[in-house]
Amino acid sequence: MAPVPLIVDTDPGIDDILAIVLALDRPDLVQLKAITLTFGNTTLDHCRNNMLQLFDILQKHIAEDPSEAHRAKLAKTLASSPITLSQGATGPLGGQRFTASYFHGRDGVSGISTLPGNPWPLPKKVPEPLQETEKAAHDVILDTIRSNPPGTVRIAAVGPLTNIALAWQKDPETFSKVGGISVMGAALDVPGNTTPCAEFNTFADPFAVRELLHNAPLHPVLRKQNKRLPVDLLPLDITTEHLVPFERLCGDKIEKKGILQKYLAAILVSPRKNMNSYADPDKPFDPSVNDLFQSHDPLAVGHAMFCPSPVQRLGQLPDNESLINQAYEGWQMKTREFGVETDGALTRGYCVVE
């Protein structure tokens, strides 16, 4: 099977960066066509800088030892086709803008851009294979869907859903030809991570969630077919269960390692401190409980990579939810009905589950 064309709509962001590195590791499954940026974990200018920095570091990582098997494979992936980089929403469809600097640092990468001596300078030009465009993110999303066969393009949406909602609003006919949207967002049966009520991406733009999940099925383009958009939600309920020891991601002896490992260790400082701080001060520190990274965004990108969407499995999204929810090689799906609070003074982004 040909690799699936993939768009990562993202607010990078530490786990976003890990998710993008994951997508680049399996060119047999997905071909990363575009990275479309949204506000979220940080502001749009930092999101852009973080992508330039990541791809500069990936190129330097390859150059350290081009013949080593992993690096040679990555070099081949990066040389195979350009990746469009586009900026999108600077704020939500409604209400005030919030970012997650409390967790990711003000620059979205644990503050590495302000470290003394500037150990992680920005590249002077846009590194390959990124191709930066002036086109807005939602237009890049629509262009990518138009230039591929209907039902093939997957989107991993790992930030606030603003760009996705704008693409839908601008051209519902084209957007409805998307193959699947794997969304990291919402907290259904568990507390939120930004407020007791809300997960960050849903909190950041609950209006976009409402537009895609609740208003879209009422639009004539979908209503005449009795369809909804092919959204698969990866909520906090399951992403927080996907834990990776920090030791495995960055280790404690990084001085002996290459630039990519050093960079990942540097950007993981803030979430590691944050997660460590939840340890019970009255008990001995247990790394197997308190030194774990929650892989929210990598799980959503992993879903887009490893679990064919209902549209891909069945040819089109049927109106029969039991067909949509068929299990696939370790993945189990279930339809959940919920409403999202947009206006609550204390409950913005709260998902009221049926």
CA distance 176 to 180: 10
Binding test (CB under 5 A) with Ca ion, winner from 6, 7, 8, 13: 13
Closer residue to Ca ion (CB): 167 or 301:
301
271 contributes a contact to Ca ion by CB under 5 A: no
Binding test (CB under 5 A) with Ca ion, winner from 5, 9, 14, 16: 16
CA distances in angstroms from 203 to 92, 199, 276, listed in the order given: 10, 6, 24
Closer residue to Ca ion (CB): 181 or 317:
181
206 contributes a contact to Ca ion by CB under 5 A: no
Closer residue to Ca ion (CB): 127 or 159:
159
Within residues 274-333, the interface with Ca ion by CB under 5 A covers 297
CB atoms within 10 A of CB 88: 27
CB of 163 to Ca ion, least distance (A): 12
CA distance 313 to 324: 9
Q: Give the binding range for Ca ion (CB under 5 A) out of 70-78, 157-165, 238-246, 278-286.
A: 157-165
Both structure tokens of 219:
């639009």
CB of 200 to Ca ion, least distance (A): 8
Closer residue to Ca ion (CB): 71 or 232:
232
Closer residue to Ca ion (CB): 228 or 296:
296
Binding test (CB under 5 A) with Ca ion, winner from 112, 142, 158, 161: 158
Within residues 63-122, the interface with Ca ion by CB under 5 A covers none
Query: Beta strands 154-157 and 4-10: pairing type?
Result: parallel
Determine phi and psi for 100, rounding to 5 degrees.
-110, 40
How many residues in the shown chain lie near Ca ion by CB under 5 A?
6
Both structure tokens of 164:
């996705």
159 contributes a contact to Ca ion by CB under 5 A: yes
The DSSP secondary structure of 236-289, one letter per residue, reads: HHHHTT-EEEHHHHH-S-GGGS-HHHHHHHHHTHHHHHHHHTTS-TTS---HHH
155 contributes a contact to Ca ion by CB under 5 A: no
DSSP state of 90: S
Binding interface with Ca ion (CB under 5 A): 11, 13, 16, 158-159, 297
